[in-house]
Structure 1
Amino acid sequence: MSYRIAEAAKLVGVPTTTLRYYEDIGLVEAPARGRSGYRTYDDADIARLRFINATKNLGIPLSDVAEPARAYDVEDCSSVAHQVVEMVAERLTETQARIGELVALAAQLQTVSARLAGAPTAGACGADCPCATAAPAPLADRRTFVPLTRSPALQDQSATPIACSLDAGAVTDRVSEWQSLVQRASSREPISGGMALTFAVSAGLAAEITLLAAAEQDCCSFFTFTVRLTTGEIRLEVQAPADAADVVAAMFGTAA
């Protein structure tokens, strides 16, 4: 079939200006024009544009989308998919790092908020008042829980909160520890309520996994960790409530 630009844009799910922009930056070749001079798109054009848009929606820069877009018409699907997988892996690493940074920032903001709530009700601000102190000091004998989801389930006070009690300075290091461990897994598979990771058996690695899981469960009590040792392998099962599914995927990955 043949489609005009407005029809093509509607099928792809973008404004017509986006299709023109793709042409302007050389991401796609200019489509054929009909007798009236209007751009016309065929089904192959629509499929290619949907691929570009889907890849862009993963947060991959358009400059990086250009290479698999060129390969889309001339290479096997597996080759194109491999290029996208590599980009997704890089994007996932960046996103996981940002999660650690954002959780650390949230912890700092919660600490500052708690200190400001204790400001005196009378008197002028001074060097020692809470609002004049930029760097938050740790709250004595008090753990700060940073919510990791906006799920309504958090309103249930009897439920285990989807939250982390690590102080801000430790969050990024903890996320890095998990990322390093997950990269050493030989396989990952989804299980009910979470993810299972398999590692080659090693007494030192088993101890490392167990200690890290215990430390994580202490600050994020919504996680359940199970470590199984069998001949030749270590299996770590990570489970959490449904509301924490995105947290599990961000920290422990998805099925490989």
Structure 2
Amino acid sequence: MSYRIAEVAELVGVPATTLRYYEDIGLVGQPARGSNGYRSYEDADLARLRFITATKNLGIPLADVAELVKAYDVEDCSTVAHHVVEMVAVRLAETQSRIGELVALAAQLQTVSGRLAAAATSGPCGDGCPCATAASEPLADRRTFVPLTRAPVVAAPDVPVIACSLDAGAVPDRISDWQALVARAVSREPITGGVALQFVASPELVAEVARLAAAEQECCTFFTFTLTMTTEQVRLEIQAPANAADVVAAMFGTAA
């Protein structure tokens, strides 16, 4: 079956200009043209473009997508999938690193908010006032500009605050510890408000799970951890309010 560029754009979910750009940079070959001069795409072209769109949607750079397309054209599906998994692993590591940076930034902003809230109610700003000393150095994420307000964030009654009180310098190590532990899970399943991780029991693992859960709950009180132990298995349930679902998924993964 043949398709015109507008039809392909709608089926793939990208603008026609994007398809033309892919042609210009050599990501895809020039499609055949009909007698009327219009581009004519076949089912194989459509499938390839869907693959390109899917990998690009994962945030994989176009240069790497181009390498995947080469594999797509000559390798079997399992091999291509393996290549994609490797690139997704890189993206995941980058994303988790940024999560650590943003959590550290959030902790610093909470400190800044508290200092600003202590500002005098009268008199001009000047040397030593909270406005001038709240952040004497650039915050953790130097790429992010956050407008400061004069008042601290006030949470509604009985609504957990999605915030972390962990010292910014300790955040990367905490994230790393959780990543190492989560990688040992033998299974996971969705539960109400979070995810449950299953591990093969060992005294060392039980101690590590308990240590991390206790430490995390102390600085991030919006988490709820439930630890269940049997002779052979350890089950850790992590739950949080709905507006912290992204935090749970980022730190502990999601159930397939």
Q: What residue number does 1:20 align with?
A: 20
Shift of 1:182: 1.2
Shift of 1:248: 1.3
1:171-192: CA deviation from partner (whole Å, max 9, x where unpaired): 3332222112112323333333
Distance 2:131 2:243 in 1: 35
Distance 1:26 1:178 in 2: 41
Are residues 227 and 110 of structure 1, via their aligned partners in 2, closer, same or farther at CA, if it must alter by over 3 Å? closer
Runs of 4+ in structure 1 deviating by more than 6 angstroms, as ranges, are none
Matched ranges for 1:1-256 at <5 A: 1-120=1-120, 121-123=122-124, 125-126=126-127, 128-133=128-133, 134-135=135-136, 156-255=156-255
1:148-206: CA deviation from partner (whole Å, max 9, x where unpaired): xxxxxx96521333332323333333222211211232333333332222333221221
Report the more deviating stretch, 83-92 or 51-60.
Answer: 83-92
Distance 2:211 2:11 in 1: 51
Distance 1:104 1:217 in 2: 16
Amino acid at match of 2:249: A
| Aligned partners of 2:223 and 2:239 also within 8 Å | yes
Distance 2:46 2:236 in 1: 43
Report the more deviating stretch, 190-199 or 200-209.
Answer: 190-199
Amino acid at match of 1:175: I
Aligned residues: 238
TM value normalised by structure 2: 0.82
How high is the sequence identity, in percent, across the aligned residues? 72
Amino acid at match of 1:250: A
1:102-142: CA deviation from partner (whole Å, max 9, x where unpaired): 1211221232233234334324522x233333337xxxxxx
Distance 1:222 1:124 in 2: 36
Distance 1:124 1:252 in 2: 44
- Give 5+ residue unaligned stretches, structure 2: 138-153
1:75-125: CA deviation from partner (whole Å, max 9, x where unpaired): 333332222222222212211111111121122123223323433432452
Shift of 1:209: 0.9
Shift of 1:210: 0.2
